[in-house]
A and B are shown apart, each in its own frame.
Chain A
Amino acid sequence: MPLSRYLRDRKIRGYAVQAVVLAVILLGGTWLVLNAAENLRRAGIASGFAFLDKPAGFEISFKLIDFSARSTYARAFFVGLTNTLLVASLGIVFATILGFIVGVARLSRNWLLSRLAATYIGTIRNIPLMLQLMFWYIAMLTPLPMPRNAINLGDAVFLSNRGLFMPRPDPAADFWPVAVAFVLGLAAAIVYGLWTQTNWRRTGKRLPVLWPVLGLIVLPALVVRIIGGPVLDFEMPRLAGFNFAGGLRIPPEFLALWLALTLYSAGFIAETVRAGIKAVAHGQVEAARALGLPSGPTMRRIVIPQAMRVIVPPMTSQYLNLLKNSSLAVIVGFPDLVAVFAGSTLNQTGQSIETLAITMAVFLIISLTISGLMNWYNRRVALVER
């Protein structure tokens, strides 16, 4: 009979089982959500996402987009999100650079250099990040003076315990030709740089790189500015009462968080890089030496490209760790996503489930994006086995 034939077919059985398991998971998830909603209703606790449209009622000191106490909680969420993304991306970039340097230094034949790198790695990895963060914050604040006695660099840059104040570029209306010229020059410089590489591969001739690139970046903008006249105003910071007003401000909270995250992750990345370099077969280095390549190009062109296959997967987890560690910002008073949304907003609206769910979902999306990008890069450099 046809039914028993269907039941015995392994593929169909497989699909059926998967469908049932999926249904069970979906039902379980729905039941959890409905149960929570019913319990909240019974306890008289407000639920739903209507709170996102209500005015926030608090100020945020560091923001990349406009925000005031009358803005909504949804806008506060975006302020926190941009702050987290800023500190995480800067942390990732600088931690990678520092980690590579320290990792290669650890393998140096110079005894002092490798010992210094080993001490750095050993200290940083064994102290909890929270303590390191508080240390850097206090270490940064203690020697800096009050704004009235701020360190003054040419009456334009001021350093005090309220932060670093710099002139802020304030473009006038006819700034755009200069900006366009600059961007075109930059694009031309990049194209030229890449073209010298291809040309070298094809013909073996090495064309000059440094001066033409610099010239292409600087000259077009300079020429347009000379023709058009001065177009860039700067907003200078001035001492007004308690603090400086105007200008570009980098608060010590941001610096401390970025520094702590960078140094901490760099220690781990250094070890990952060291493992990757060691994983490259020594025969490659011997062959490079036999060809007469000095140790600099050997490392840059032979060893590291092959080491990247081993380095990239653990690097992904270091980047994700850095992103999650940025949530310690509330300890030093930096308004990141967790401090603003899962801290202030959660407390003032009392809606813990909604705010925490949104925060977790956002971290999940960012982490998946980082992993996705790293996996794509990993596939590009992977060994293709035949």
Chain B
Amino acid sequence: MRFTTAIALALTALAGAALATPASAGILDNVKQRGQLLCGVSGKVPGFSAPDAKGVWSGLDVDYCRAVAAAIFNDPEKVKFVPVTTTERFTALQSGEIDVLARNTTWTFSRDANIGLDFVGIMFHDGQGFMVNKKLGVNSVKGLNGASICIQNGTTTEQVVSDYFAANGMKYEPVAFESADEAAKIYDSGRCDVYTTDASGLAARRTTLSNPKDHVILPEIISKEPLGPAVRQGDQQWSHITRWVLFAMINAEELGVNSKNVDQMKTSKNPDIRRLIGEDDSVYSDKFGLTKDWAYRTIKLVGNYGEVFDRNVGPETGLGLQRGPNQLWIKGGLLFAPPLR
């Protein structure tokens, strides 16, 4: 009798589980209910996402998530930063463990089409570069035939290096580590001749080496690496919100609106500015999911694109990067956001 009861219970449990349907509330509703945005970051890339000695997070990706949180909650601190490794970053997003992945991830065809993700825009236009020790006397990538290259396992870096060296008839010895920190440390010890990653990462990494002046970043950029945030495919409203927070930040810089003058801009006569900060709600609709002054909150609490760039990776910071392609189109760069119209 005990056996039969156990089997009956097991069958009922299975049937119940089979009939249960997954919760189908939208991501925005989940985030609002939780009261917090779950943001997947790296946690180890200075300038993009890293906690400081007191545990306060800062970086380009960090500020993007804070911008989304400000748009939803009017509070940029309502974010929980979840460090994810390269191996688990896509699975964490696909399974719903995080709401948005802001982890200096490259937007590629296979990632967009094959793994159920949606990239919402380009936060940082980057490309892959190489760093070598000055002692080797190499001043171009073409002189790297036969070199040992320290790489991070499982990134687009691995593939790009392989494609480039094959296309140019050169050979190399890959040494692939799980973490970028380990790869840089082993490069520093002399085991590898070359360290390769996105050019922005190279500048950051050089500051952490034992003798930064001994290393030179080669001039060639051998690939396009558009780094941007990604969300789960299938929730159009969430994709729109995350996409337009980024565009609002870029448009704000283009219109000259920043966190310091956004309050005065409320009295502006410029229709573009009025639409951006919600004074003019002619294009706004409830279907968007946020209140009409969502962009005002973002700009006031976090800042426009230029402020975020300068604060985290700009010329005054440890990375010391120039705007380069990450400049507004009217100033010769590639930032060209659709208008809020």
Complex interface bits, A31-75 against B, C-beta within 8 A gives 1, otherwise 0:
100000001101111100000000001111100000001100000
Interface residues of B in 63-99 (CB under 8 A from A): 86-87, 90-91, 94
Asked if A243 lies at the interface with its beta carbon under 8 angstroms from chain B, I say yes
Interchain CA distance A332-B178 in the complex, whole Å: 8
Q: Which of A105-113, A303-311, A345-353 contacts B (4 or more CB under 8 A)?
A: A345-353
Out of A24, A46, A332, which one reaches B114, CB within 8 Å? Answer: A46
Interface residues of B (CB under 8 A from A): 3, 7, 10-11, 14, 17-18, 22, 86-87, 90-91, 94, 110-111, 114-116, 136, 144-148, 150, 153-155, 158-159, 161-163, 166, 172-178, 182-183, 186, 189-191, 193, 232-234
Q: Which label, helix, strand, loop or mixed, suits the secondary structure of the B interface?
A: mixed
Tell me the nearest residue of chain B to A347, going by C-beta.
Answer: B154
| Contacts known (A31-B18, A43-B234); A347 close to B86, Cβ less than 8 A | yes
Interchain CA distance A346-B10 in the complex, whole Å: 35
Pair A330/B177 contact, Cβ less than 8 Å: yes
B6 to chain A, nearest CB (A): 9
For residue B190, which residues in chain A have a CB less than 8 angstroms away from its CB?
Answer: 141, 146, 161
Tell me the nearest residue of chain B to A140, going by C-beta.
Answer: B191
For residue A40, which residues in chain B have a CB less than 8 angstroms away from its CB?
Answer: 116
Interchain CA distance A31-B233 in the complex, whole Å: 25
Interchain CA distance A129-B4 in the complex, whole Å: 48
A190 to chain B, nearest CB (A): 40
Pair B114/A333 contact, Cβ less than 8 Å: no
Asked if A241 lies at the interface with its beta carbon under 8 angstroms from chain B, I say yes
Interchain CA distance A332-B175 in the complex, whole Å: 9
For residue A60, which residues in chain B have a CB less than 8 angstroms away from its CB?
Answer: 174
Q: Pick 6 A–B contacts, CB within 8 A, sort by A.
A: A39-B22, A59-B172, A162-B173, A333-B153, A343-B176, A344-B158
11 extra interchain contacts, Cβ-Cβ under 8 A, other than A58-B158, A343-B176, A347-B90? A27-B14, A31-B17, A44-B116, A45-B115, A46-B114, A61-B175, A70-B166, A141-B186, A333-B177, A347-B87, A347-B153
Pair A343/B178 contact, Cβ less than 8 Å: yes
Pair B191/A162 contact, Cβ less than 8 Å: yes
Asked if A138 lies at the interface with its beta carbon under 8 angstroms from chain B, I say yes
6 tightest A-B contacts by CB?
A347-B154, A350-B115, A45-B116, A44-B116, A43-B116, A69-B162
| Contacts known (A45-B94, A330-B178, A333-B186); A343 close to B232, Cβ less than 8 A | no
Pair A240/B153 contact, Cβ less than 8 Å: no
For residue B90, which residues in chain A have a CB less than 8 angstroms away from its CB?
Answer: 347, 350, 352
A45 to chain B, nearest CB (A): 4
Interface residues of A in 289-342 (CB under 8 A from B): 330-333, 335, 339, 342
Interchain CA distance A9-B101 in the complex, whole Å: 61
Tell me the nearest residue of chain A to B88, going by C-beta.
Answer: A352
Asked if A203 lies at the interface with its beta carbon under 8 angstroms from chain B, I say no
Asked if A271 lies at the interface with its beta carbon under 8 angstroms from chain B, I say no
For residue A343, which residues in chain B have a CB less than 8 angstroms away from its CB?
Answer: 87, 153-154, 176, 178
Pair A161/B191 contact, Cβ less than 8 Å: yes
Pair A243/B147 contact, Cβ less than 8 Å: yes
Pair A21/B87 contact, Cβ less than 8 Å: no
For residue B158, which residues in chain A have a CB less than 8 angstroms away from its CB?
Answer: 57-59, 344, 348
For residue B18, which residues in chain A have a CB less than 8 angstroms away from its CB?
Answer: 31
Pair A242/B193 contact, Cβ less than 8 Å: yes
Asked if A245 lies at the interface with its beta carbon under 8 angstroms from chain B, I say yes
For residue A245, which residues in chain B have a CB less than 8 angstroms away from its CB?
Answer: 146
Out of B87, B154, B189, which one reaches A141, CB within 8 Å? Answer: B189
Interface residues of A in 110-154 (CB under 8 A from B): 137-138, 141-142, 146
Pair A330/B189 contact, Cβ less than 8 Å: no
Pair B186/A57 contact, Cβ less than 8 Å: no
Out of B10, B148, B189, which one reaches A242, CB within 8 Å? Answer: B148
Interchain CA distance A315-B145 in the complex, whole Å: 47
B23 to chain A, nearest CB (A): 13
Pair A339/B153 contact, Cβ less than 8 Å: yes
For residue A352, which residues in chain B have a CB less than 8 angstroms away from its CB?
Answer: 90-91
For residue B115, which residues in chain A have a CB less than 8 angstroms away from its CB?
Answer: 45-46, 350
For residue A146, which residues in chain B have a CB less than 8 angstroms away from its CB?
Answer: 190
Pair A17/B7 contact, Cβ less than 8 Å: yes
Asked if A252 lies at the interface with its beta carbon under 8 angstroms from chain B, I say yes
Interchain CA distance A39-B116 in the complex, whole Å: 11
Interface residues of A in 356-376 (CB under 8 A from B): none
Interchain CA distance A253-B148 in the complex, whole Å: 13
Asked if A28 lies at the interface with its beta carbon under 8 angstroms from chain B, I say yes
Pair B14/A24 contact, Cβ less than 8 Å: yes
Interface residues of A in 260-302 (CB under 8 A from B): none
Interchain CA distance A252-B150 in the complex, whole Å: 14
Pair A243/B175 contact, Cβ less than 8 Å: no
For residue A39, which residues in chain B have a CB less than 8 angstroms away from its CB?
Answer: 22
Interface residues of A in 220-260 (CB under 8 A from B): 240-243, 245, 252-253
Pair B189/A142 contact, Cβ less than 8 Å: yes
- Residue with the greatest number of chain A CB neighbours at <10 A, chosen from B90, B148, B154, B155: B154
For residue B234, which residues in chain A have a CB less than 8 angstroms away from its CB?
Answer: 42-44
Interchain CA distance A342-B176 in the complex, whole Å: 13
Pair B172/A241 contact, Cβ less than 8 Å: no
Out of A17, A24, A344, which one reaches B153, CB within 8 Å? Answer: A344
Interchain CA distance A285-B200 in the complex, whole Å: 70
